[in-house]
Chain A
Amino acid sequence: MATTGTPTNITQGSKTKGGIGESTLRPDGTLKVTGEFAYSSDMWHEDMLWGHTLRSTVAHAEIRSIDVSEALAMSGVYAVLTYDDLPTEVKNYGLEIQDTPVLAHGKVRHHGEPVAIVAADHPETARRAAAKIKIDYAELPLITDEASATAPDAILVHENRDDHHIGHVPHPNIVHRQPIVRGDADEAAKRADVIVKGEYTFGMQDQAFLGPESGLAVPSEDGGVELYVATQWLHSDLRQIAPVLGLPEEKVRMTLSGVGGAFGGREDLSMQIHACLLALRTGKPVKIVYNRFESFFGHVHRHPAKLYYEHGATKDGKLTHMKCKIVLDGGAYASASPAVVGNASSLSVGPYVIEDVDIEAIALYSNNPPCGAMRGFGAVQACFAYEAQMDKLAAKLDMDPVEFRQLNAMEQGTLLPTGQPVDSPAPVAELLRRVKTRPLPPEQQWLAAGEQADVRALPGGLSNTTHGEGVVRGVGYAVGIKNVGFSEGFDDYSTARVRMEVVGGEPVATVHTAMAEVGQGGVTVHAQIARTELGVTQVTIQPADTQVGSAGSTSASRQTYVTGGAVKNTCENVREKVLEIGRRKFGSYHPAWATAELLLEGGKVVTDGGEVLADLVDVLEDEAVDLELEWRHRPTEAFDLRTGQGNGHVQYSFAAHRAVVEVDTELGLVKVVELAVAQDVGKALNPLSVVGQIQGGTTQGLGVAVMEEIIVDPKTAKVRNPSFTDYLIPTILDTPTIPVDVLELADDHAPYGLRGIGEAPTLSSTPAVLAAIRNATGLELNRTPVRPEHLTGT
């Protein structure tokens, strides 16, 4: 195997298999298809108890009293905890603003807020015990929209705000406000030949990941706790959990357990602190698994929004100006609202050139369910509105909607409304061209299978509501821009530990990061990067935990960029160390050791000319190289709080969609026939996963276009549909074929030129479907999701 002796053989090195650019398969695939992969809800420990959360049945109320005596007296119940049982003075947590109580104290601010927690020996016992807790609520008036939130005498959702946004918001019920003013929109409006205004409503969407919030907390001997949990960012959780438990961070050891999807819904804590509190109180392992009903209360949702837009254009189709106001409902607690405001405002213009803009985005505090991160993060709501505006303008100018967009499309170098130049390729016009020039699916595609209509391919599907009569087709387009990574000056770094050694006669690399694998495929890509940089086939990916430095969040399309970048950077440093060892041992045998650019490929040290200098096994022998390094992308800066100017973003990603729909106009049923997408991914590290991400994101956008919405009763602020019976996500029958056209225009600032990809396809999917339905029906349709009653006027 190993070539010893004179390592100067001049065979050609072979490229390492399974490196970047290949569609390598998931390392966890076999475990996942055999049912062996341990998700957070699968954790089990001998002698473990089950936790359950009692949640508020009202949206806004003073808590007069809580009586847990009956619950505590039940056999099989080990602990019942309320606010009074919290061990330290720190009783709140939060991503940016610590305004979220671990357990409600004094009052509840939204329907479903956790009030008490129970540990018992059977989940049903825990549920029954929770039901025996008596709470005396004195209901308070509700804040449910902008008018009720900002009324001069409005009751305050948070009485004693002291966060750093309070100084610049016009009302304490506004979490954050970001204006952006550039040029002079009023002056530019005078040049407009046509002006269109629109008022748009974006419904509250839910991440609806399939794996419920769950995890297992195990008390440890040193008085600390081990937590196995599904999350998007272990270190962010740790930072919020430890102070509430009154423990130093080293005593809270977190390990990522299998994550069944996330989409932003696991950025905030859910059951983490509760399970730890119960474990520490009872001295026993405690498992908490939310059921689907509870899951709808256990995580934040996508901000519902009202968007007021005005655009102008000259008669030859050039945009003159844009004014908008975006009102996001953040619900009872801040969560990620400030950052969502930053995104919504800075991306409110979309991928277009408009020099004169007047923008304002705000997020409200209200008694609605808390809203925070979800795939697309503020850019989704804006894209829905500006794309509808583009169609309106094109129609008014009697122009083709795609040509109109192309005429105004941004390019590399275009300034965002924040004054920041887009300094990497921005192929907006090209992406639109690609989706537009695809052949359309055949007319009356339901006949494609034969003479007889296949009802499964018609609106209404198997319910047999139509055989094709009354069905009209529409085609719609949309394109969007999404920032990648955390913006506005956030220190968005990641850490990777890489070890290289010989195991069983083979060079092996081990990669250890705290990156949360939530299904996106980071584990696959990390192995590919290590193979490419270190020339080894065998790569072990260590489970993510807090024994290694932070990887940042698996969100904002940033993980492949930032943690991928960290793995690449650490591997490069490991490679240097390996080469140093090689030079020390074999440097005298061949001059190339000192003079040539050396690579590791196919288990060998090779020159850039492909000449093999040594086998890695001979270089390393029983030495190991082991490094843990942090890695940062270029810094960003905060937006000015008055003008919104600032280089706030790191990178952008672009996607365009063409939707083809068929609508049964009598019943208002929509069948999306095809949803074609073109996206620039910079460099596809794993083409198979790239396509999977784009299709998945597209489907979530389709969902919010035609079916997904958490319905909050405006009179009571209670959630009406917390179940998969009533909150509908697309099934395989609702989802069309999604042809994907991938462009790879490298971003020179990013590792391998890659672009974050996960979110962009969620942006333009929704407005494309809406545009297609408008095209089919001629209706205006200013809200999403579109329901049958909006199409039939009933």
Chain B
Amino acid sequence: MRVNFTVNGRKQEADDVWEGESLLYVLRERMGLPGSKNACEQGECGSCTVRLDGVPVCSCLVAAGQVEGREVVTVEGLADFAQQRSASGCATGACGTTLQDARQWSAQGTDSQTGEGAELSPIQQAFIDAGAVQCGFCTPGLLVAADELLERNAEPSDADIREALSGNLCRCTGYEKILDAVRLAAARQEETV
């Protein structure tokens, strides 16, 4: 089967895809985008979280065929995605991403495969600064989920953060520093408004 979809703003075409292949497998093994992680492949850990037309999903649970003609953002495209969002006047994050927006968004000036040349998004920088990255295997999924939270809710309470990230397991950090990172990104976002 052939699947056409957009990943981090670039049109992609995957050939000879098996029917059972997940979006996660196609991203990692066919597109050369291993940023989304394979920790359970059962929808239990959130490590593979990507945005599909703006909505965070476990890419291990999405059949590749389901993404035909749709828009996927992975951790590799997160920085550009965030930049694009703030450029379009969504710096408060309160406006969300409409399906339309998600479709129109595209990467600019950077290589979405390596992330080279990309500035970090506020949430990425906050994860580093707050010490929220240890082994980092949970990090890509958490970043995608946390970025979407901040887009919806610019001033999340701790309970909001916990609720939004409850689908993302982390075995190393004890989560405290992940909370710190999300609070930090929210605070910095506030400052820049």
Binding site for B on A (CB under 8 A): 23, 25-26, 28-30, 32-39, 41-42, 44, 122, 124, 207-212, 258-263, 289, 291-292, 449, 454, 456-457, 462, 518-521, 688-689, 691-692, 695-700, 723-725, 729-733, 735, 737-738
Contacts and interface: CB of A to CB of B under 8 A. Distances in A.
A341 B161 CA distance: 42
B109 interface: no
A519 B172 CA distance: 8
A695 B166 CA distance: 18
Interface of B: 18, 20-21, 28-29, 32-42, 44-45, 47, 74-76, 78-79, 114-115, 118, 120, 124-125, 127-129, 131, 133-140, 143, 157, 159, 161-163, 165-179
A34 B75 CA distance: 6
Given A209-B171, A732-B168, A33 B37 contact: no
A42 B34 contact: yes
Contacts of A260: 37, 39, 135-137
7 contacts: A29-B136, A210-B169, A260-B136, A292-B44, A449-B159, A519-B172, A731-B166
Most chain B CB neighbours (cut-off 10 Å) among A42, A730, A732? A732
A550 to B, nearest CB: 22
Nearest to B41: A291
B142 to A, nearest CB: 9
B40 A32 contact: no
Nearest to B177: A692
A37 B18 contact: no
B136 A519 contact: yes
A212 B38 contact: yes
A30 B21 CA distance: 30
Nearest to B32: A44
A92 B129 CA distance: 46
Nearest to B179: A732
B133 A26 contact: yes
Contact of B40 (A38, A292, A699): A292
A146 B76 CA distance: 52
Nearest to A50: B29
Which 6 pairs from chain A and chain B are nearest by CB?
A35-B35, A519-B135, A695-B174, A260-B137, A32-B136, A724-B44
Given A291-B41, A695-B175, A733-B162, 14 more contacts: A28-B136, A34-B35, A34-B124, A42-B28, A124-B21, A210-B137, A210-B172, A260-B37, A449-B157, A456-B159, A732-B168, A732-B179, A733-B166, A735-B175
Most chain B CB neighbours (cut-off 10 Å) among A37, A518, A729? A37
A127 B139 CA distance: 29
Contacts of A695: 173-177
B157 A699 contact: no
Nearest to A39: B137
B163 A462 contact: yes
Most chain A CB neighbours (cut-off 10 Å) among B115, B133, B165, B179? B133
A114 B145 CA distance: 37
B131 A688 contact: yes
A211 B161 CA distance: 24
Contacts of B174: 692, 695-699, 735, 738
A211 B134 contact: no
A701 B128 CA distance: 25
B129 A25 contact: yes
Contacts of A698: 174
Contact of B120 (A33, A208, A292, A738): A33
A459 B2 CA distance: 48
Contacts of A696: 134, 171-174
Contacts of A211: 37, 39, 135, 137
Contacts of B127: 29, 33
Nearest to A455: B159
B38 A729 contact: no
Most chain A CB neighbours (cut-off 10 Å) among B114, B136, B139, B173? B136
